[in-house]
Chain A
Amino acid sequence: MITRRDWLTSAALVGGAALAGRRLSAQTQDPHAGHAQGGHSHHPAPPAESHHGAAGSGPSIVRPVVAPPSRAEVRRMRADLGYTPVTTPDGITARWRRNVAWKEFHLVAHEVDQTFAPGMTVKAWGYNGGTPGPTIEAVEGDSVRIFVTNHLPEHTTVHWHGLFLPNGMDGVGGLLQPHIRPGETYVYEFELRQHGTFMYHPHADEMVQMALGMAGFFIVHPKRPRKEPIDRDFCILPHMWAIHPGTYRPDPMVMLDFDLFTFNGRAFPGTSPLVVRQDDRVRLRFANVSMTSHPIHIHGHRFWVTETDGGQIPESAWIPETSLDIVAGQTRAVDFVADAPGDWPLHCHKTHHAMNAMGHDLPNPIGADLEAVGRKISGLVPGFVEMGTTGMAEHAEHAGHMQLPENTLPMMAGQGPFGSIEMGGMFTVVKVRDGIESYGDPGWFDHPDGTVARRVEDAPTDLALW
């Protein structure tokens, strides 16, 4: 059985250097236990040895597989911490330690091998073993000290997007601070004077560094939370990438024609489901550092927009939505009560954002009579298969047996209980189940009788006609 400590520890940073000679739990604070451990220097120093090696060689940071918590564990943590800890699907929460008055965190910027979905690994830039970086979680009023070690091949900084802080801690390279050169560690210190959903990301060569995946959540819980506790608090960072099929590294030169779309660095069918218990109060937080907006849509529910990156919205001003456009540079939080059991998609409603890689500049075969010429082309180009004249669903059917370019994902994929789901990219499923005690994947929804659309033999003959 997985204990709370196991889960929290496993959710923490596992650094190659940190693993060398020290037990993680001996030095670092259980990030959610909220009590201090003494014996640390008051002078700022990174939590692990600062000998990660020369720039470019980078630390070997491998994120652990995080086991889903039980409902009881979440409740205990809420009791201990005073807030429901945020879950970052397919990501991790940053470890921290108490050093007298400071909550100390450590971000290590480096190149990472990120699996978007089985069959596709990306050489991205991120923090602490992945992209997005670990979710920093603190409470309004905390004083945070954040070490930033740069193991990128170029300088960087970290900008704390939306936070109130001293000007010199805002992280704009050149304007507000020297750049953090490769191999260097800088420290940021500031008091959290607000609460809400925020981000961190570089403000040095930011076009490149964000295109390669550098961003993360900074969650500040309110000192005085609302009466109705949040049962499940998820943060999702939609991002879009130009990773041309057959390549491994995002192409930062692309401005518009992106071809991969992720939630927390995973593309469907690589995204993990959001598992909630029926009637849980669920919070979804979104942050967007990509170059366009993402209208996030939930099925079967409506959510209330409760927070902007400016803070909580008074309840009287909450608005119900089923789609919320998260524009570039914004964060938003929405709350809803998961009152409808089932498997409910949550996805970006820009349809190409809920697809995987495909070309955007090729002839449209739909409706064309291409059978004869297709045979001719098959004779000229061995292996050619004429597809798409009746639509593109057959691409999902063929995806399993046709050899695609290396390191990419089928444009439509995912197998559900009724067949091919034919989605990709920014798509996941909110699994609402009655009476569950664990937030592990419960499998496909077992629909009550008579609640699934069915085929009928006799279609009406007159209703569609005028």
Chain B
Amino acid sequence: MRTPRKTLLAIALAASAVGCASIDPGPAVVATTGILEARGVSGVAWQADGDESGQIARKVEEILGQPVGPAEAGRLALLRSPHLQASLADLGVAQAALAQATRFANPGLSFAFLEGSGESQRTTGLAADVVDWLTQPLRRRLGEAELEHTKLEVAAALFDGVAAAELALIELQAAEAVAAAYENREEGAQAAAEYARALHEAGNLTLRDRILVEAAWAEARADGVSRREETERAREQLLRLVGLDGGTAWTAAPLARPHLLPSLDPGDLQEHALRDRLDLVAARWAVDALDRVRGLHRATRWLPVGVEIGVERESGGGVRLTGPTVELALPIFDTGSAMQAGYEAEIARARAQLAGLENRVRSEVREALAATASATDRIEVLENDLVPARRRALELAVRESYQMLVGVFELLEAKDQLLEAEISLLEATADAWRARVDLVRALGRTITSSAIPESKDPKSSEKRPEPSTGHEEMKHDHAS
């Protein structure tokens, strides 16, 4: 006969043999960083210690010391964004959940004292949940799967956060450039208004014509105010995304042309995206996890709902009974088939969603490529044809003004048309950047000026992201 002491010891030994998961999220953070680096994003800063060393602050200061471009905005987000830090904290939550899932339920100790008719009975019990023991490895696997899923979700959030910061910076660059061009338009409209006023005061222009020109200036001023407001909006949007406050002094780099992409095969890129997109990987994990849950349920549905292994000692009346207690749920009414059917349906739904997502990914790659090509073509037309044509037209208008063939208003209109063409070029340039960000999001990885880098082990990331894949060559393209 085993004493309760011995029994408890056995439970403890069994638990230690199975092993409990750690509560340290560090490895999960490293693994998530690896997932991102495999997709060209590096520089994740985990502020678990609250940047006590000031290292992050120094990096931020260094970045803000130079004009900030899209790549720098992405780095700032990784360093400073509270949203991204919150996402990283999800790893700790998931790690803790895993640790919790692998813990055994504590054994229960019970006492009972019954008395009546001159007799008394004392019952002492010590029990542990055997089902809990038996299902611990399964719980571990599910917990690990959940953690892996969380890593993917966190990596996806960080990847998207970087892209969002880059896009916000692009919007700021575009807004500042367009606002500057609108200031030039405003100056032209002001000059026309002053010219009209002088002509009217000299008796050469009707009041109505003067007012019309002045009204055009007022319109230009209103446009300028709107454009400046858009700049402020874009700036605040960026500040929110990267976690900077408004008091920090920094400037956005001027909007420049994005580097040209090499000739890319759309089919190859779609395959890349199917392999690299974290939402796809996560969706595959979801199907996998559901399958595991279903399997777990199937494996455990016949287990007793309560099997307690322990001892009970009754004393009184000279009777002493010891022995295990077992509670069995008789699967008469609920055989678990409904749950199984539910899991089957959920799996079917997840697979359909996965197929839909795969189709969407391919489509988004094609769409982003088309937008990239369109923006590139527009830039080419605007830069090579429209802007030079407007500039040439202005030069020729100046020549015509020497012969009194055109007047000042036509000259200023020609200048305004040049500015309008330059604004179109700025917008096309911004669109090229927007399309570039869309392409990065569609592909699920950064792209460089030379090529789309190959993942070291594309299948591994799809099946099971490893904590550290060490793809050092896939750094984020900060030169872009």
Contact = CB atoms under 8 A, between A and B. Distances in A.
Interface of A: 245-246, 357-359, 362-370, 372-373, 376-377, 380-385, 387-388, 392, 395, 398-399, 402-405, 408, 410-411
21 contacts: A245-B405, A358-B403, A358-B405, A359-B407, A362-B405, A363-B409, A364-B199, A367-B202, A370-B198, A373-B195, A373-B198, A376-B187, A377-B411, A380-B188, A380-B191, A381-B415, A382-B398, A383-B395, A383-B398, A402-B402, A405-B396
Contacts of A398: 402
A12 B196 CA distance: 57
Interface string B428-464: 0000000000000000000000000000000000000
Contacts of A403: 399, 402
Given A376-B191, A380-B188, A405-B399, A359 B409 contact: no
Contact of A364 (B201, B204, B403): B204
Q: Is the interface of B mostly helix, strand, loop or mixed?
A: helix
Q: Is the interface of A mostly helix, strand, loop or mixed?
A: loop
Contacts of A367: 202-204
Interface string B358-400: 0000000000000000000000000000000000001110111
A376 B204 CA distance: 20
Contacts of B204: 363-368
B409 to A, nearest CB: 6
Interface string B167-198: 00000000000000000100110110011101
A363 B403 CA distance: 13
Given A246-B400, A377-B191, A392-B404, 13 more contacts: A362-B407, A365-B204, A366-B204, A370-B199, A373-B195, A376-B190, A376-B194, A377-B411, A380-B191, A388-B404, A403-B402, A404-B399, A404-B400
Contacts of A365: 199, 204, 408
A403 B396 CA distance: 9
B181 to A, nearest CB: 13
A405 B411 contact: no
B411 to A, nearest CB: 5
Contacts of A399: 402
Contact of B404 (A358, A369, A377): A358
B412 interface: yes
Nearest to B418: A381
Interface in B64-95: none
A373 B191 contact: yes
Nearest to A382: B398
Contacts of B412: 377, 380-381
B406 interface: yes
B205 interface: yes
A408 B402 contact: no
Contacts of B410: 362
Nearest to B184: A380
Contact of A359 (B201, B395, B404): B404
Nearest to B391: A382
Nearest to A402: B402
B198 A369 contact: yes
Contacts of A383: 395, 398
Contacts of B398: 381-384
Instruction: Tell me which of B198, B201, B205 has the highest count of chain A C-beta atoms within 10 A of its own C-beta.
Output: B198
A412 to B, nearest CB: 10
B401 A384 contact: yes
Contact of B403 (A369, A372, A380, A405): A405
A359 B404 CA distance: 6
Contacts of B205: 363-364
A402 B401 CA distance: 10
Contacts of B414: 381
B400 A405 contact: yes
Interface residues of B, number: 35
Contact of A373 (B184, B194, B395): B194
B402 A404 contact: yes
A363 B408 contact: yes
Contact of B198 (A245, A368, A402, A410): A368
B404 A411 contact: yes
B199 A395 contact: no
A359 B394 contact: no
Contacts of B194: 372-373, 376
A410 B403 CA distance: 6
Contacts of A411: 403-404
Given A365-B199, A373-B198, A380-B188, A385 B402 contact: yes
A362 B406 contact: yes
Instruction: Tell me which of A372, A380, A402, A404 has the highest count of chain B C-beta atoms within 10 A of its own C-beta.
Output: A380
Contacts of B202: 366-369
A156 B191 CA distance: 53
Interface in B122-137: none
Interface in B235-286: none
B405 A357 contact: yes
Contacts of B415: 380-381
Contacts of B199: 363-365, 368, 370
A370 B204 CA distance: 12
B209 to A, nearest CB: 9
Instruction: Tell me which of B190, B201, B401 has the highest count of chain A C-beta atoms within 10 A of its own C-beta.
Output: B401
A395 B402 CA distance: 7
Instruction: Tell me which of B402, B406, B409 has the highest count of chain A C-beta atoms within 10 A of its own C-beta.
Output: B402
Contacts of A246: 396, 400
A384 B411 contact: yes
Nearest to B203: A367
B204 to A, nearest CB: 4
Nearest to B209: A363
Contacts of A380: 184, 187-188, 191, 412, 415
A381 B411 contact: yes
Contacts of B191: 373, 376-377, 380
A408 B394 contact: no
A376 B400 CA distance: 19
Contacts of B195: 363, 370, 373, 377
Contacts of A370: 195, 198-199
Nearest to A398: B402
B388 to A, nearest CB: 15
A357 B400 CA distance: 10
A407 B236 CA distance: 55
A282 B191 CA distance: 56
Contacts of A381: 394, 398, 411-412, 414-415
Contacts of A373: 191, 194-195, 198
A408 B403 contact: yes
Nearest to A369: B198
A403 B400 CA distance: 9
Given A368-B204, A370-B195, A245 B400 contact: yes
Instruction: Tell me which of A358, A370, A377, A411 has the highest count of chain B C-beta atoms within 10 A of its own C-beta.
Output: A377
Contacts of B190: 376
A380 B181 CA distance: 12
A384 B192 CA distance: 14
Contacts of B196: 363
Nearest to B205: A363
A245 B403 contact: yes
Contacts of A404: 399-400, 402-403
A372 B402 CA distance: 19
Contacts of B400: 245-246, 359, 404-405
Contacts of B408: 363, 365, 377, 384
A363 B394 CA distance: 18
